[in-house]
Amino acid sequence: MPGGVEWKKRYDAKYPGQFQVYSPYTYDATMLLVDAMKRANSVDPKVYVNELAKSNFKGVTANIAFESNGEMKNPAITLYKYVDGKKTALN
């Protein structure tokens, strides 16, 4: 998490004892939506969803952008399966 250490310091100062493992991901998701709403100049999902798809947002956890099919580019989490005893990333 490129901005994680500094962000956690600010988070802990404002919300002592409240940090949970997914807090930075929730923060990024919220700020990503806010960014899309600002760019669309609207809080209507029918309007800002188009801007959301065009996002290139520098978050706390990672840079957040999307492929044309809606999947994240360079996701921060990868899921794996085992095929013939070998760990293989899910597509």
**What is the reported pTM?**
0.74
Length of the chain: 91
Which pLDDT belongs to residue 22?
86
Residue type, 23: S
Please state the rounded mean pLDDT for residues 36-61.
Answer: 95
Query: pLDDT, tens digit, for every residue of 22-44?
Result: 889 999 999 999 999 999 999 99
Q: Please check whether the domain covering 4-89 is classified as CATH 3.40.190.10.
A: no
- CB within 8 Å of 2: residues ≥ 6 apart: 60, 62
Which pLDDT belongs to residue 6?
87
Give SS3 for 69: coil
